[in-house]
Amino acid sequence: MKHSLSLCIALILLAGTAQARPLSYPGGPMLMSDNDVMQNNVFAGYTVDPKNAFGYRLMYDRDTASTFHGAQWNHLLNRWNNPDSQANLYLQSAVGVIDRQSEAPGQEYQPGAMTGILADWEDRRFFVSYENKVRIAEDEQWRNFTQSGRLGIAPYVAEAGSLHTWLMVQFDHRPQLNDTFTTTPLVRLFYDSYLVEAGYNIDEQTPLVNLMIHF
Amino acid sequence: MFKQILTIALLSTAIITPVFAADKTPVVKPVLTKTIHIGVNGMVCDFCAQSLKKVFGKQKGVETVAISLEKKLITLTVAPDTKLDDATITKLVTDSGYAVEKISRL
């Protein structure tokens, strides 16, 4: 019942990547959903070992009105475990098919891929991350490069099992947008195996909603 | 005759009472669980805590898993006959993506 509810919430939100832990524990399934001005993303994955997770990515791109279906690999390149902090470097890559609904019948499908790195550092009070992504395809409109960074602070330090709250600011660099650089203040709430983020892009005046569940 | 009966009765009571008294001696029950403390580096968020809780919760003989982010500590209570040696604990923590600082047992 708990898992069904989680799945329903995720599908309703139909979202992307929340700049947080794209790997779970070995044998652990996860669901991630990111939604912002550019895209709706869903990633359903399974962590096979301490460094690798595989799964299915569904991405709807608003700019090109296209849908990407692909197999994604999240790989932990390195992790630094310190007594009071942790830092991670991930590689996230996906290959699949782009469905361009605006194209003529017979020409709507073409192969596509994306890859990028995610780096983060956090302790129980502060959070910093950087993520980039390159999209590769024959379609020039679909190809792009994006990058973003985040700064976060926890207004209180929470113990395991209680509600964790983070106040964050996300900075995006998306060369294809009118506002190349945008800023999104957001709130991250963490409880048990659930992470929810809600924010508002003040330049594009659009909401951001992210969800992550580690089952 | 009555005095003799009373005397025998009292003596009998005096002899038997310690036997019953011995039966009432509190029985010391054997310890049913033992505790393992695991100090962990890198355990800074609730995802970390929940992952480790699930990993150790699946182990045979582990009865409770308590995690303190403040103390960077996992506390397990396990059945006394549980085979959960330091190497196994270290592997479970490492495979979950964290580092063992120390392991102590009570």
Q: Which pair of structure tokens corresponds to residue A154?
A: 């926890």
Compute the count of residue pairs across chains A and B with CB atoms less than 8 Å apart.
Answer: 81
Q: A151-192 pLDDT, tens per residue? A: 999 999 999 989 999 999 999 998 877 779 999 999 999 898
Among A15-19, A36-40, A48-52, A74-78, the minimum mean pLDDT is found in A15-19
Element (H, E) at B3: helix B2-23
Q: Which of B44, B53, B54 sits opposite A124 (nearest CB)?
A: B44
Provide the residue type at A120 as one letter: D
* Spacing of C-alpha A31 from chain mean position: 10
When the pLDDT of each residue in chain A is averaged and rounded to a whole number, the result is 87
Distances (CA, A) of B93 to A51, A139, B62, B87: 13, 45, 15, 10
The distance of B63 to chain A (nearest Cα, Å) reads 18
HEC string for B40-93: EECCCCHHHHHHHHHHHHCCCCEEEEEEECCCCEEEEEECCCCCCCHHHHHHHH
- A85–B contact, CB cutoff 8 A: yes
Q: Which of B42, B47, B49 sits opposite A81 (nearest CB)?
A: B42
Chain B residues within 8 A of A25 when measuring between CB atoms:
51-52, 54-55, 95-97
* pLDDT higher than threshold 70 for residue A17: no
Environment class of B3 (CB within 10 Å of its CB; exposed 0-12, middle 13-18, buried 19+): exposed
* pLDDT higher than threshold 80 for residue A43: yes
Looking at residues A29-38, what average pLDDT do you find? 87
Q: What is the structure's pLDDT at A18?
A: 54
Q: Which of B50, B53, B68 sits opposite A159 (nearest CB)?
A: B68
- A53–B contact, CB cutoff 8 A: no
* pLDDT higher than threshold 60 for residue A122: yes
Q: What is the structure's pLDDT at A62?
A: 86
Q: Which pair of structure tokens corresponds to residue B59?
A: 């182990």
- Residue A64 confidence class, pLDDT cut points 50, 70, 90: confident
Q: What is the structure's pLDDT at A9?
A: 41
Q: B83-106 pLDDT, tens per residue? A: 888 999 999 999 998 999 999 988
Q: pTM for the whole thing?
A: 0.79
- B17–A contact, CB cutoff 8 A: no
- B96–A contact, CB cutoff 8 A: yes
Q: Under an 8 A CB cutoff, do B50 and A214 touch? A: yes
Element (H, E) at A148: strand A144-153
Residues 166-195 of chain A whose Cβ lies under 8 A from any Cβ of chain B: 190-193, 195
The distance of A193 to chain B (nearest Cα, Å) reads 6
Q: Under an 8 A CB cutoff, do A161 and B45 touch? A: no
* pLDDT higher than threshold 50 for residue A140: yes
Q: What is the structure's pLDDT at B80?
A: 86
Provide the residue type at A95 as one letter: V
* A15 compared with B41, residue with greater pLDDT: B41
Distance from C-alpha of A66 to C-alpha of A101, rounded to nearest angstrom: 6
Q: Which residue of A has its CA nearest to B41?
A: A83
Q: Under an 8 A CB cutoff, do A50 and B101 touch? A: no
Environment class of A85 (CB within 10 Å of its CB; exposed 0-12, middle 13-18, buried 19+): middle
Q: Which residue of B has its CA nearest to A161?
A: B46
* pLDDT higher than threshold 90 for residue A95: yes
Provide the residue type at A75 as one letter: H
Q: B15-67 pLDDT, tens per residue? A: 544 444 445 565 655 556 799 999 999 999 888 898 899 999 999 999 999 99
